Amino acid sequence: MWNSSPKERADTGRCIYGLILVSPAKEILKKLNRHQKKAALKAAATKSYCLLKGLPGTGKTQTIVGLIRLLSLLGQSILLTSNTHSAVDNVLKRLLPFQDLKFIRLGSIDRIDPAVASSAEAIVTEHCDSPEKLSEVYEQYKIVGVTCQGTGHPLINKRLFDFCIVDEATQVFQPSLIRPLLRSKRFLLVGDPEQLPPVIKSVEARSLGACESMFHRLDQEGSFYILPTQYRMNRVLTKLANEFAYNGKLICGNDIVENNTINLPNLENIRRIYEVERWLLKMISNQIDLSVVLVDTGNTYQMNLNYRKLNEISTSITDDQSQNAMNCTNVSEIAIVVYIILFSCTKSSNLSDEIWIKKGKERSSHGYEILSDKSRLTVAITRAKEKLIIIGDRLTLDSYAPFKKLFNVASKISNISLREKKDGFEWNALLEFLISLSD
């Protein structure tokens, strides 16, 4: 060996160094499933950039954590960023158990999750009384977490990171990504292209392509890896998501996930109390085939008016107020992982609604109507673990293309039609109950 050339000695050194890293790398990868391991290794080995399509419930955050641990093992510096503070902090919180991973969180401490506040810039630099000391503290951290909007920080402008990870990249406005990517040698964009794009309010800006993310622009064959194994939805919800948006890519992670059903407390007592209301029992059933329930209410606004006229009930609520109260629930407000998703789609009818419905035509996305947004509906249906209940007027919802497709792919056994005296349902009794709640 002593007679070997400098190049041969360097190659031997790299080989020995690589062998030393094999054991800890295996330990890091051990906690990832097969697809997560491949994704982390593909990203770590990229020479420029890589996309990770993290489908719903597939453990993209766990994969990001695994990648950060691998890159840190290799001595790489990492810039972690996203569109929101919560997305950045969700990853950083998962790094806390690993004592060897020191990170600094840039940004206003008021916006930082308390769990990682001890690593906030304001805390770790509070005793710095000179630029030299400040620079010395910054240099101690190989992992830096910050939102895309916060990447104008002097620390980032003065450093070139080995790797940049952008979480929820499909929601990031393109110009917001330029700064962090220019300060990095390589990068990984993580997101789900079937879910929310950047929020652009201007109709003109959207028409010019402002709602296209960097993720979508770079999405081409060979540039991405998909995480298909999900641990959230049971088999019925997975099938619905596959047929509605994911073209069969999603698979259940294990038998427990696949066969999960809702477990309501005191279900037998509920069944006895409401045995006449068969429509309600079907809605809350724990049968796995009824994990998706579509409840057709008919035109509830018109029925409410008829009920008030019939019973000569005076009310101080104006027509405008009552119509506003019937407006569609914003999907983003309920986009959280829960055991049941209750998605209210009721919307008051107006003249233009009736014209569209009578003509049997589908509504366009004019005015950026939320019910025309397939990505928002995808978010809602993929957040449920064991039960999805969609409530609305079927005739109205059928005029929106995303809902029409959803109804077509859902099992017919899932349909519940609320009609007077059918399956124990009575509109008058329900309306009287609702009015009593407001008294």
86 Cβ contact list (under 8 Å, min separation 6): 113
345 Cβ contact list (under 8 Å, min separation 6): 328, 329, 371, 390, 391, 392, 393, 397, 403
Give dist(CA 248, CA 245) in Å, integer.
9
Spacing of C-alpha 137 from chain mean position: 35
Contact by Cβ (8 Å): 405, 245: no
CATH of the domain at 23: 3.40.50.300
Q: Domain for residue 384, yes or no?
A: yes
Q: Domain for residue 318, yes or no?
A: no
189 and 153 within one domain:
yes
Q: Which of 227, 242, 259 is the last residue of a domain?
A: 227
Q: Beta-carbon neighbour count of residue 315 at 10 Å? A: 10
414 Cβ contact list (under 8 Å, min separation 6): 290, 292, 293, 294
Q: Domain for residue 11, yes or no?
A: no
| pLDDT at 271 (0 to 100) | 86
User: For the whole model, what pTM was predicted?
Assistant: 0.82
279 and 204 within one domain:
no
Q: 427-438 and 300-311 helices cross at what angle (nearest 10)?
A: 80
168 and 100 within one domain:
yes
**Residue 259 structural domain:** 232-312+335-347+367-438
| pLDDT at 6 (0 to 100) | 54
119 and 51 within one domain:
yes
Q: Which of 227, 242, 265 is the last residue of a domain?
A: 227
Give dist(CA 239, CA 246) in Å, integer.
9
CA distances (Å), origin 438, targets 162, 242, 315, 316: 59, 41, 11, 12
Contact by Cβ (8 Å): 347, 355: no
| pLDDT at 402 (0 to 100) | 94
User: How would you write the pLDDT of the chain (439 residues) with one tens digit per residue?
Assistant: 445 555 544 444 444 344 456 788 899 999 899 999 999 999 999 999 999 999 999 999 999 999 999 999 999 999 999 999 999 999 999 999 999 999 999 999 999 999 999 999 999 999 888 888 988 899 999 999 999 999 999 889 889 999 999 999 999 999 999 999 999 999 999 999 999 888 888 888 888 888 899 999 999 998 999 999 999 999 999 999 999 999 999 999 999 999 999 988 888 888 888 888 889 899 889 999 999 999 998 887 777 676 666 665 444 444 444 444 334 333 333 333 456 565 655 444 444 444 444 444 555 444 446 788 899 899 989 999 999 999 888 988 898 999 999 999 998 888 999 888 888 888 777 777 777 776 6
**Residue tagged 């390589």 (tokens):** 186
392 and 243 within one domain:
yes
Contact by Cβ (8 Å): 183, 161: yes
CA distances (Å), origin 371, targets 1, 327, 399, 409: 71, 11, 10, 17
Q: Beta-carbon neighbour count of residue 183 at 10 Å? A: 19
181 and 303 within one domain:
no
| pLDDT at 365 (0 to 100) | 44
211 and 243 within one domain:
no
166 and 281 within one domain:
no
Q: Domain for residue 123, yes or no?
A: yes
200 and 141 within one domain:
yes
Q: Domain for residue 321, yes or no?
A: no
Q: Strand order of the sheet with strand 338-344? A: 338-344, 384-392, 292-296, 415-417
296 and 157 within one domain:
no
3-class DSSP state for residue 386?
Answer: strand
77 and 188 within one domain:
yes
Handedness of CA 363, 369, 370, 376 (dihedral sign): positive
Q: Domain for residue 9, yes or no?
A: no
67 and 26 within one domain:
yes
| pLDDT at 307 (0 to 100) | 62
**What is the DSSP annotation of 277-338?**
-HHHHHHT---GGGSEEEEE---HHHHHHHHHHHHT---S--HHHHHHHTSPPPGGGS-S-E
| pLDDT at 187 (0 to 100) | 98
Closest CA to 292 of 380, 371, 374: 380
CATH of the domain at 265: 3.40.50
Q: Domain for residue 353, yes or no?
A: no
Give dist(CA 291, CA 6) in Å, integer.
66
Q: Which of 200, 227, 254 is the last residue of a domain?
A: 227
Q: Beta-carbon neighbour count of residue 67 at 10 Å? A: 26
Q: Domain for residue 320, yes or no?
A: no
Domain tally, the chain = 2
Half-sphere exposure of 200 toward its Cβ, with a 13 Å CA cutoff?
A: 20
142 Cβ contact list (under 8 Å, min separation 6): 72, 75, 76, 77, 78, 102
Half-sphere exposure of 322 toward its Cβ, with a 13 Å CA cutoff?
A: 15
| pLDDT at 419 (0 to 100) | 87
